[in-house]
Structure 1
Amino acid sequence: MVRTPDLRRRRELLEAVVDECAANGVGGRSLRELADAVGTSHRMLLHHFGSRDELLLAVVDEVERRQMTMLTEVMADGAGFAAMWKHLRRPELRALERLFFECYARGAQGESPFMTMLPAAVDRWLSLTQSAGEPAAARLGLAVMRGLLLDLAGTNDDAGVDAAARHFIELIGARENSSR
């Protein structure tokens, strides 16, 4: 698909804003502050996104799209929790995870536009990860993964968080072995 220059520029700006927000958070930053940080004008952001809220909504959608793409790739390999954990805990993803959790928390508080990501941020992941007939197990796995990622994003305690992940993986394995 050939993109028009305007769509291409919008995509470039969105990627730059996502990277900026991943590195420095969203917070209460104005449209002018975001524009300055990515080397453009607030008018250009308004032209491409309409408003600060629409820009932030595009950021939230892009972060979720990136995470879903990663999960889809890992799931295509028939991966279980251990492989997903290995993939998602990579240090180069930490900034995006921090941004995801910032947006998620703001959505949970009812803040627009972030609340539009809920409950889809849970439902889409569950639809990809649910074991046949075990929605509770899929939700538990998602909750543990997100909890560990939040812990990792907040503490950078790779060893401690990885040890907890290994323990959960052992629990899953013991459960699977006992049900055979």
Structure 2
Amino acid sequence: MAGELRGHLLSRAVDHIAEHGVGALTLRGLAAGIGTSHRMLIYHFGSKEGLLVEVVREVESRQRAALATLDLDPANSLADTIRAMWHRLADPALWPYERLFFEMYGQAVQGYPGTAGLLEGVVDSWLDLNVELAARWDVPAEVARTHARLGLAVIRGLLLDLLATGDRAGTDAALETFAAGYEAGLPSPTGVRPVADDSTPTTGRAPF
């Protein structure tokens, strides 16, 4: 029962932040907005920071689930796959969550009380997903993981750029350059560039 209530409160908090953002959000204000008390939120999440960390983790989990269901047909180009991922993650509907992500990420790496939980899987969970997806192209796991780390850094960096500047055209162009360069042949971690032709699956590259 307690777990169900916690999940219900978290889901409502996610929806509230999507509609209102975080701005000058207070725990009491959030509690009032989702029909509970600040004491109940403290009981289940420990603090405002603890709740916001769980909101970020929940949204990240939802996005990984959504990306896992993209139409990642190995017959499609890797560049098209990268574009599809970027198109989803750069959706303005996600900006309130992404602002919150970067805010909480910054606090977590500085050891701000109540935020350490965000660092658990903040990179590895995305790398694991990419390795799973890359198997559709018969990409070796060690190659996929290394390239996924690079792709994650590029996409997160461009998302931060987009939030800071609002320059969608510029960030789209940068993503396109990355995607096209990746399609042309990113070297494998061993320094050996995989060779492919139109009749064989591309190997040695992951869908980032």
Report the Cα offset of residue 136 of structure 1.
2.4
Q: Deviations over 1:70-107 (max 9, x none)?
A: 23223765573222112211222222222222221111
The question of whether the paired residues in 2 share the 8 Å contact of 1:106 and 1:114 is answered with yes
The verdict on how the C-alpha distance between 1:35 and 1:155 changes in structure 2, with shifts beyond 3 A counting, is same
CA distance in 2, matches of 1:26, 1:115: 21
Number of the residue aligned with 1:108: 109
Which range is displaced more, 91-100 or 42-51? 42-51
Report the Cα offset of residue 142 of structure 1.
0.7
Which range is displaced more, 60-69 or 167-176? 60-69
Number of the residue aligned with 2:63: 67
Q: Deviations over 1:21-59 (max 9, x none)?
A: 4543277x5422321343432233245445445433432
Which range is displaced more, 96-105 or 49-58? 49-58
SS in 1 for 2:150: helix
The verdict on how the C-alpha distance between 1:119 and 1:61 changes in structure 2, with shifts beyond 3 A counting, is closer
Given candidates 22, 26, 29, the residue that maps to 1:25 is: 22
CA distance in 2, matches of 1:75, 1:103: 31
Asked which structure has the greater CA Rg, the reply is 2
The question of whether the paired residues in 2 share the 8 Å contact of 1:25 and 1:102 is answered with no
The verdict on how the C-alpha distance between 1:15 and 1:30 changes in structure 2, with shifts beyond 3 A counting, is same
The verdict on how the C-alpha distance between 1:139 and 1:90 changes in structure 2, with shifts beyond 3 A counting, is same
In the alignment, structure 1 residue 13 sits paired with structure 2 residue 14:
no
Task: Name the amino acid aligned to 2:171.
Answer: V
Please report the RMSD computed on the Cα atoms of aligned residues, expressed in angstroms. 2.9
Report the Cα offset of residue 141 of structure 1.
0.6
Number of the residue aligned with 1:151: 161
Which range is displaced more, 67-76 or 167-176? 67-76
The verdict on how the C-alpha distance between 1:176 and 1:43 changes in structure 2, with shifts beyond 3 A counting, is closer
Task: Name the amino acid aligned to 1:24.
Answer: G
Report the Cα offset of residue 123 of structure 1.
0.6
Task: Name the amino acid aligned to 1:165.
Answer: L
TM-score, normalisation: structure 1? 0.78
Structure of greater relative contact order (alpha carbons < 8 Å, 6+ residues apart): 2
Higher helix share: 1
Report the Cα offset of residue 163 of structure 1.
0.8
